[in-house]
A and B are shown apart, each in its own frame.
Chain A
C-alpha cells in the first residue's frame, strides 16, 4: 500500500529562520511527487512536481528536493506570508496514461507552518 508521511506535523519559525519540511514515501513505483501549499479555508495551490531522485526545483524562498525515499521542502529566510499548510502527494506508475488509477494522488497529512514576525 502506498504511504506518505510528512513531518513535523507543525512547525513554528521566526521570520528569517530557515528550515526544512520532510515527506517520506513508500510506493511501488513513483511517477511524480507533488508539493502544494494550502491556506486556511482554501484549496491546495500547486508548487512543484519532482520526477526522479536528485531532481531539485526552486521558487522564491522554496526549494524542493527528491531522493528515492523522501522529499524535502527547504524554506530559506521565511516570511510571515509563508505561513500555511504544506502538503506532499505522490502519484504512482500504473498501466496506461488514461487509467483513472494512474491519476490517483496519495496525500500526506501536511505540515502546518507558522512564521512569526
Chain B
C-alpha cells in the first residue's frame, strides 16, 4: 500500500448505528486530518492530530469521535448520526516542518469514505 488509504470506501448506516472509519498513511508523516466534503460546499476541516495529539477540533458535534493510536493510523467513530451528516469523509496526512526555514507542509489525501445516513 502506498500513500493514504481509507476504509471502507462506501458506508450506509442508520441513525442508530455505530460505525468507524479507518485511515492509514504510508508516507511517514506525523500529522493527520479528517475533513468533511458535502455537495456544493468547500472541504471542512474536522480534526487535526499532531504526533498523535489532537490539536484542533473545529466545533464538530460529539457524535463524531476521532482516535489516533499512532502516527500512521486515524479513526473516526460515528454514532447516532443525522441524515445531514451524509458526505464524503476525507483523511489527509502531512509532515510537520520541524526545522526552522521549512516553508509549509503539504497535505496528501486519501480516496475518502462516501457515507450515507438513512
Report the interface size for chain A: residues with CB under 8 A from the other chain: 29
Whether A32 lies near B109 (C-beta < 8 A) is: no
Whether B114 lies near A41 (C-beta < 8 A) is: yes
Q: Could you tell me the distance in whole angstroms from the C-beta of B2 to the nearest C-beta in chain A?
A: 13
Distance of A99 Cα from B53 Cα, bound (Å): 11
A103 CB contacts on chain B under 8 angstroms: 31, 33, 48, 50, 55-56, 94, 105, 107
Q: Could you tell me the distance in whole angstroms from the C-beta of B94 to the nearest C-beta in chain A?
A: 7
Distance of A46 Cα from B107 Cα, bound (Å): 8
Interface-side segment among B11-19, B38-46, B73-81: B38-46
Q: In the complex where A49-B104, A98-B50 touch, is A43 in contact with B96 (Cβ < 8 A)?
A: no
Say yes or no: is B59 at the interface (Cβ < 8 Å to chain A).
Answer: no
A45 CB contacts on chain B under 8 angstroms: 109
**Which A residues form the contact surface with B (CB < 8 A)?**
4, 31-32, 34, 36, 41-46, 49, 51, 87, 89, 91, 97-101, 103-110
